[in-house]
Amino acid sequence: MLQNHQDIWKSCLVFIKDNIQPQAYKTWFEPINPVNIEDNVLSIEVPSKFFYEWLEEHYVSLLKVALKREVGESARLVYVIKMSSAQTQAEHTEQIPSSNKFRVQPQEVDVPIYKRDPSLRNPFVIPGIRNIKIDSQLNNTYTFNGFIEGESNRLARSAGMAVANKPGGTSFNPFLIFGGVGLGKTHLAHAIGIDIKEKYPEKTVLYISAEKFTQQYIDSVKNNTRNDFIHFYQLIDVLIIDDVQFLAGKSGTQDVFFHIFNHLHQNGKQVILTSDKAPVDMQDIEQRLLSRFKWGLSAELQSPNYDTRIAILKHKIFKDGVDIPEEIIEYVAKHVKTNVRELEGAIISLIAQASFNKKDITIELVRVVVDKFVKNTKKEVSIDYIQKMVANYFEMDLETLQSKTRKRHIVQARQLAMYFSKKYTKASLASIGSHIGKRDHATVLHACRTVENLSDTDKQFKKYIEDLNKKFV
């Protein structure tokens, strides 16, 4: 009978490998390390409690047969788990006996947060297990066929198709898609994921917003399941994170994403990101993370030109089965120039008006609808845009606006930038302060109160507010 724990485990693996699928073997057995054997009890080290639970639930019978073949009927199994405390970051080791299928009563184990919370259930069905599939969270209406190619998106679309053909096997890893609102970043990211699922059904694809990723991480810290959270994401073959700029200022989430990213990249897995700006323009993202964003390809989506807008409208109209005269299509394309979302919104409004009011779609009707639509469409206002407008208004550069100087006119300009950022964006006070000269949230709050007070007592300052306000509405 073999006595060396490494030899025993190697022999067990030979038997296990012959009895399960290769992907499951790679996912669940290759990461295991044998620790020792004493009194016919084999101790094996696993990455997390979550890992232990899935082995117990799905493979304990296989483990039992394999171990008893090598050690005998008295064989027992103990899991060794190294964990980091969320409070102290210190490592400690926990030993958990196998379940009563080995006739040993297990210790009570916390169920991970993603098993408890129904809202997180779909993204956390573990891949690599036979007959269990992950919900990729992809929108099947966002396909490459519906993503109309033009000069504004040709590079991004072509690179996206290359990634879909060979995920993790091109130099476009990570693949970062950036651009303004409504230009199709999310659509293209979903299209890549859908195409990969069709071509490589065995691959695990997951789409998630950076906001939800952050909330899941926070919940994992609260419930002391951080290691399980990391391990789950390390199992994904194609990870798509939307609006990655929302990680700004969240050092804990950035740190955990850094480790997940490294693991995926080193193992040939594909990472796809979307952002409202290029990596070079991102603020409050750690440099080590930004440097990794630049490893692959960053492709920009720009506002569609006239010909592309025509093609988008014709595709939308054909898809909806509506007959609209060419001159109507050309009028809409000529006057709605901002982004794809507003372009499609305008044509939907036109069709709705004609249908509800039982009118023909005429050039007169399209003028009324488009004029109202364009007038009521707000500009996409960001903190960066606000700073630029305020700096231009006061004839100073951004560096001066963000500087530490206490000169009155510069301080007032800076306070106005903070005030309008709070008014017209959804950013937190901390994020606003960080963007505008790395101030804290208390400074932003004070600035907003000062602007409100001065607007009531200082006529000139009130005019500043009125003039600038026109630039953001």
- Residue-wise pLDDT tens digits, 41-60: 889 988 877 778 778 877 88
- Predicted pLDDT at 84: 47
Same structural domain, 294 and 316 = no
| 154-185 per-position pLDDT tens digit | 889 999 999 999 999 888 999 999 988 778 89
Residue 87 lies in a domain: yes
- Predicted pLDDT at 196: 95
Residue for token pair 């659509």: 187
- Predicted pLDDT at 98: 66
Residue 68 lies in a domain: yes
Using DSSP's 3-state secondary structure scheme, residue 381 falls into: coil
Residue 347 lies in a domain: yes
Q: Dump the DSSP string for 228-266.
A: HHHHHHHT-SEEEEE-GGGGTT-HHHHHHHHHHHHHHHH
- Give the CATH number for residue 420: 1.10.1750.10
- Predicted pLDDT at 104: 34
Answer with the residue of higher pLDDT: 126 or 317.
317
For residue 348, pLDDT over 50 is answered with yes
Same structural domain, 240 and 310 = no
Mean pLDDT to the nearest integer, 388-396: 91
Contact 240, 206 (CB under 8 A): yes
pLDDT interval class at 446 (50, 70, 90) = very high
Percent of the chain with pLDDT over 90: 24
Q: Considering its fold, how many domains does the chain have in total?
A: 4
Residue 453 lies in a domain: yes
β-pair partners for 93: 82
Taking the complete model, does pTM exceed 0.95, yes or no? no
For residue 33, pLDDT over 60 is answered with yes
pLDDT interval class at 375 (50, 70, 90) = low
In terms of Cβ atoms closer than 10 Å to its own Cβ (0-12, 13-18, 19+), residue 397 is exposed
pLDDT interval class at 223 (50, 70, 90) = confident
- Predicted pLDDT at 209: 92
Residue 251 lies in a domain: yes
Residue 328 lies in a domain: yes
Phi, psi of 471 (to 5 degrees): -80, -15
Pick the closest to residue 47 from 99, 104, 91 (CA basis): 91
For residue 132, pLDDT over 60 is answered with no
Residue 369 lies in a domain: yes
Answer with the residue of higher pLDDT: 18 or 388.
388
SS3 content of the chain, % helix, strand, coil (to 5): 55, 10, 35
The helix-helix angle for 340-356 and 306-320 (nearest 10°) equals: 40
Using DSSP's 3-state secondary structure scheme, residue 207 falls into: strand
Q: Which of 111-115, 139-143, 269-273 has the lowest mean pLDDT?
A: 111-115
DSSP state of 52: H
Contact 379, 472 (CB under 8 A): yes
CA separation for the pair 390, 411 (Å, rounded): 12
- Predicted pLDDT at 111: 33
- Give the CATH number for residue 97: 3.30.300.180
Mean of pLDDT over the chain: 80
Same structural domain, 276 and 153 = yes
Same structural domain, 160 and 286 = yes
- Give the CATH number for residue 226: 3.40.50.300
- Predicted pLDDT at 419: 94
H/E/C letters for each residue in 336-369? CCCCHHHHHHHHHHHHHHHHHCCCCCCHHHHHHH
CA distance between the termini of the chain = 81
Same structural domain, 154 and 274 = yes
Q: Is the peptide bond before 167 cis (omega within 30 degrees of 0)?
A: no
Strands, sheet with 270-275, edge to edge from the N-terminal-most edge strand: 205-209, 238-242, 270-275, 175-179, 297-301
For residue 109, pLDDT over 60 is answered with no
Q: Which of 123-132, 358-367, 390-399, 449-458 has the lowest mean pLDDT?
A: 123-132
Tokens of 300: 């920009």
- Give the CATH number for residue 339: 1.10.8.60
Of 301, 318, 350, the domain-final residue: 301
pLDDT interval class at 102 (50, 70, 90) = very low
CA separation for the pair 104, 98 (Å, rounded): 6
Residue 390 lies in a domain: yes
CA separation for the pair 43, 77 (Å, rounded): 6
Same structural domain, 152 and 292 = yes
**What is the CA 295 to chain-centroid distance, rounded?**
18
Pick the closest to residue 219 from 207, 228, 209 (CA basis): 228
Same structural domain, 187 and 314 = no
Type of residue found at 46: V
* 91-97 and 76-84 strand pairing: antiparallel
Pick the closest to residue 238 from 179, 173, 181 (CA basis): 173
- Predicted pLDDT at 355: 67
Please give the residue range of the domain that contains residue 407. Answer: 383-472
| 236-293 per-position pLDDT tens digit | 999 999 999 889 888 889 989 998 998 898 888 999 999 988 888 787 888 888 888 8
- Predicted pLDDT at 189: 95
* 238-242 and 270-275 strand pairing: parallel
Pick the closest to residue 351 from 339, 336, 366 (CA basis): 366
For residue 117, pLDDT over 70 is answered with no
Answer with the residue of higher pLDDT: 96 or 434.
434
Of 234, 267, 301, the domain-final residue: 301
- Predicted pLDDT at 126: 40
